Structure 1
């Protein structure tokens, strides 16, 4: 069972996932979304880096708690460039001092609600670090409306190389990949709402349904109908 709620940390989401009976519980792939997550699982603190392809969770019985940072913000809070964690899940001890992580482990292990404890950890971290670059928020907002990367760069007053460098550090990949990831998420939201695939493609910025199908297959590793459990 999966559940989520808006976090007190702006733009973030607090979530939980419980697998009590993996034989009868379908496992859904986690698709690229431009985000990074702080995770708690079976006494481990982990960071999920930005994905460029679908990540399929394990099927063993487990309870996960997580905080999904808004796109581009996690590197500021975690102190590591996103591209160093691209397509990776790493222990927080690989990023922070072991003594610091041990204290956090103890706090989370004793917490009645690990998800809220993760949220509290992130909120405290936000008071200790500079705020995320507001330019990146504008970049995400512009690309999420389907604006071209070059046009967006001009509007933000950035050259192509500078935009690419800042995107790698914040999102784990360049702005063109970020634009494709955001477009995929727009399409999935429409398709999950029951919009026919051809209309989904047109409304989310694809050239046609075949273009949408190629992108879904590349990112998700399966056709859109299979991903959603329906045929059209």
Structure 2
């Protein structure tokens, strides 16, 4: 069975996106591209269920082993965090859940019904009420570029880093590179991508793509079936 991907946005202020995939990738490896959000990912491999909290990724990496079962993930919105697992400690890293079954997931010593693609919002609401997941609305608004009253720039930057593990500038650079990859894969010419996304010139775009995706514009326009990229999606619904 070929790999089937599905993803959606969410009305929850705590969730950026929910995704799932099922099937098998015929390629021997996959390129995991930079991602400014942290996430909860649950996957089934050889009949066993695993779960992990995966932090933001600031660089592309090659994944040599790809599970053949189902995968489900909740990508959390900027500004959300789990106080017992500070996001800055998770950058370019992950923490495996010690106890995960086909029915249950343990977070901060408490058992929760294993979430799925259809009830992600209910799961998140429950762990918010339990104090496991919190949100800093100021960080959400600042990263989104909203014009809101804010304290000093230094104070805002500290709060952004504490909640996301990254600076506001790093988040914008990664998100822009991911959006550029989507546009290039859709056939948009590189020069138009430069103008549309505000790069200085094509060399600037090229450096960004190499740094965050490990691909050139030409390679993104001609995908390599032997090393597919991890999930990319439009920034807007």
Query: Which TM-score band applies after superposition, normalised by the shorter structure?
Result: 0.7 to 0.9
The residue number in structure 2 matching 1:166 is 159
Of structures 1 and 2, the one scoring higher in RCO (CA 8 A, sep 6+) is: 2
Q: Which has the higher strand share?
A: 2
How does the TM-score come out when normalised to structure 2?
0.74
Give the alignment partner of residue 188 of structure 1, picking from 172, 181, 185.
181
| Secondary structure of 2:57 counterpart | coil
How does the TM-score come out when normalised to structure 1?
0.75
* Residue 117 of structure 1: how far off its partner (Å): 4.9
Q: Supply the distance in 2 between the matched residues of 1:40 and 1:8 (Cα, whole angstroms).
A: 21
The residue number in structure 2 matching 1:127 is 129
Aligned-residue Cα RMSD (Å) equals: 3.0
The residue number in structure 2 matching 1:12 is 16
Q: Structure 2: any 5+ residue segments left out of the alignment?
A: 100-105, 224-237
Q: Structure 1: any 5+ residue segments left out of the alignment?
A: 144-151
The residue number in structure 1 matching 2:54 is 48
| Secondary structure of 1:3 counterpart | strand
Is 1:17–1:65's contact at 8 Å kept on the other side of the alignment? Answer: yes
The residue number in structure 2 matching 1:69 is 76
1:1-232 paired onto structure 2 within 5 Å: 1-10=4-13, 11-20=15-24, 22=25, 24=26, 28-42=30-44, 43-57=49-63, 58-73=65-80, 75=81, 77=82, 79-93=84-98, 96-98=107-109, 100=110, 103-104=111-112, 107-108=113-114, 114-129=116-131, 132-142=135-145, 156-229=149-222
Q: Supply the distance in 2 between the matched residues of 1:131 and 1:56 (Cα, whole angstroms).
A: 32
Q: How many residues in Structure 1 have an aligned counterpart in Structure 2?
A: 208
**Per-residue Cα deviation, 1:67-109 (whole angstroms, up to 9, x for no partner):** 1112232x1x5643211100112123499434x2xx33xx32x
Is 2:186–2:221's contact at 8 Å kept on the other side of the alignment? Answer: no
Q: Supply the distance in 2 between the matched residues of 1:202 and 1:48 (Cα, whole angstroms).
A: 33
The residue number in structure 1 matching 2:226 is none
**Per-residue Cα deviation, 1:21-65 (whole angstroms, up to 9, x for no partner):** x3x358653433321111112312211111101244433423211
